[in-house]
Amino acid sequence: MATNRTHLKDAEEAWIAKYRAALKNIPVEQSRSTRVREALNRAHTITVSHIGRILARSLDPSLWKRSVQSSKPMPVSPQASTRNRNLPESNAKVA
């Protein structure tokens, strides 16, 4: 009787090993929605990365070199402001 049980146990273990090997060989296809979701996640990650790099470059204090001239206030001449007010407006239609 013990030999019969050992034989059945060996046969069962062999069948389980075959079944597990067969499961490993079966390719599992992802659904379309899963593939689209993964593609959107990759695109989102890439976009956020690029935006982060752009912001890091624009917020870098070493690039904020001010020239001496730009820090001084520029005087505004009164003629410049009156010049623009005296321009005649054109009523001609642009074709």
pLDDT of 87 over the 60 cut: no
pLDDT of 82 over the 70 cut: no
Cβ partners under 8 Å of residue 38, min gap 6: 30
Contact 40, 32 (CB under 8 A): no
Please indicate, yes or no, whether the overall pTM of this predicted structure exceeds 0.75.
no
Residue located via tokens 């204090």: 61
pLDDT in tens, 25-76: 777 788 999 999 999 999 999 999 999 999 988 887 776 665 545 555 666 6
pLDDT of 84 over the 70 cut: no
* CB count in 10 Å sphere of residue 48: 10
